[in-house]
Amino acid sequence: MDITAPLPPVTADDPNPSAAAAHTLLDPSGLGPIDRVPLIPEAARRRHHVFVPADHRFKAAARFLQALWREDRGLAIGTHIDRRELHRPRRLGSRISAAAGTLGANFLHPDIVPVVARALAYREPSAAYDIDRLKTNLLSSQPLAFNLFGLLTSNPTLATRFVNELLPGTMTHVTDILFEHSPGRSDPRFTADRTAYDVVLRGWDSTGARVLTCIEIKYSEPGHEPAPPPHPRHAEIARSTAGLFVDPDDPTLTGPACQQLYRQHCLASAMLTAGLADKAVLAFIAPTHNQLAHAAASTYTRQLIDPQAGPIPFIPMTLEHAFAAIATAGLPNHARALHRRYTDWWLVDGELDLAGVPTPAPGTQTTAPSPESDEFIHIATRAPARATQPGRGRKHTVAPANLAA
């Protein structure tokens, strides 16, 4: 299955279990794919305390979805402090309170919480952890990395099944999963800066070669991070890695769209040169509808001589396919929880529909409402916990679940 393409239709005799799992997981109600995330009206964003004028279209929708997830679980709203107005913290629906964060509420399963605690306790020197962001920011890609990979850390067999679904033929045995990893920040043997990966899988392939699968994860980030000044060590590595870059001196590589992946590719090459592994793969994961992130990955791909078969393959993929791989590997309930939190855009669509229904006048008398009636929908909007409303052919929201859901 092409992991960068839209999911194909599933038939009863479909030989591709990942495709079937993806459809079962991502479209349980048979609604079909959503073409794009909606432009959410300012009033709706303000109502859920997620109006941030600077948000691009996808980030606004992702922030809105995180607020719905928080509200459905009854988690206390958190605050954001603007560095320009330190004395005026504002409530932000895509954050949870510090108390909820301390209890591990930003993580989708209780078993992930000790994985996070251990990663923090044994973090590498100068590792880029913002602990408050990790524990209370629902929109951040760092807790997403733990939510996606955390349950695999204690089960190499499960981790191996997952990577075989996600990146077939890359690894046949996973030995370690590392978070926020670099072999040596600021070490001149590598990139002499603070370049690191969100996640690294270490293991072997079918030939017995040692393999590193290095992963960069985006959620709402556009993939156009501010570009630091070009470092001479990056250029040195790029020029000496035969068969990797079309033109290692192309300034596009050090521009905002490519610089992070360029630095990570250079780091992977330096790790191979240092003998830390025999092979390496650089993977990029972002939600299907984060078009800015995937556009940045496409721009970078064009700078590579052979992205798939080069000395260090570059493999962009969708977050939804990663969730399908989690399901197929043996964690379908966790995959559903991941999808519900991060990529179920029909919930946003349903919330907009609910907001657009006129509120009946006070004192209006009606008969017992049907699921199709305005009164039924009005009651649903006032209820403390959302429910699935099949009316008008759309799945609006889901019942709240506990942290272990």
172-224 pLDDT per residue, tens: 999 999 999 999 999 999 999 999 999 999 999 999 999 999 999 999 999 88
Question: What are the tens digits of pLDDT across the range 238-266?
Answer: 999 999 999 999 999 999 999 999 999 99
**Segment 216-227, tens digit of pLDDT:** 999 999 988 777
pLDDT at position 369 over 60: no
pLDDT(308) > 70: yes
Terminal Cα distance for the chain, rounded:
29
Return the CA Rg of the chain: 22
Residue 367: band (very low, low, confident or very high) from pLDDT cuts 50, 70, 90: very low
Stretch (H or E) spanning 316: strand 314-318
pLDDT 10s digits, 29-39: 778 788 999 99
* pLDDT confidence band for 385 (50 / 70 / 90): very low
Residue at token pair 């001149």: 188
Q: Which residue in 143, 120, 276 sits closest to 210, CA to CA?
A: 276
Mean of the per-residue pLDDT values of the chain: 84
Cβ atoms of 198 and 270 within 8 Å: the answer is no
* Residue 15: per-residue pLDDT: 52
Least confident of 136-150, 276-290, 322-336: 322-336
pLDDT (average), residues 9-21: 53
pLDDT at 125 over 70: yes
Query: How far is it between the farthest Cα atoms of the chain?
Result: 78
Query: For residues 222 and 21, which has the higher predicted lDDT (pLDDT)?
Result: 222
The pLDDT, as a whole number, for residue 223 is: 84
Q: What value does the mean pLDDT take over residues 135-144?
A: 97
Residue 339, both tokens: 């999808």
Rounded CA-CA distance 180/248 in Å is 26
In angstroms, rounded to a whole number, what is the distance separating the alpha carbons of residues 240 and 326? 37
For 78-117, how does the pLDDT look when each residue is reduced to its tens digit (9 = 90+)?
A: 998 776 766 677 899 999 999 999 999 999 999 999 999 9
- At residue 251, the pLDDT reads 95
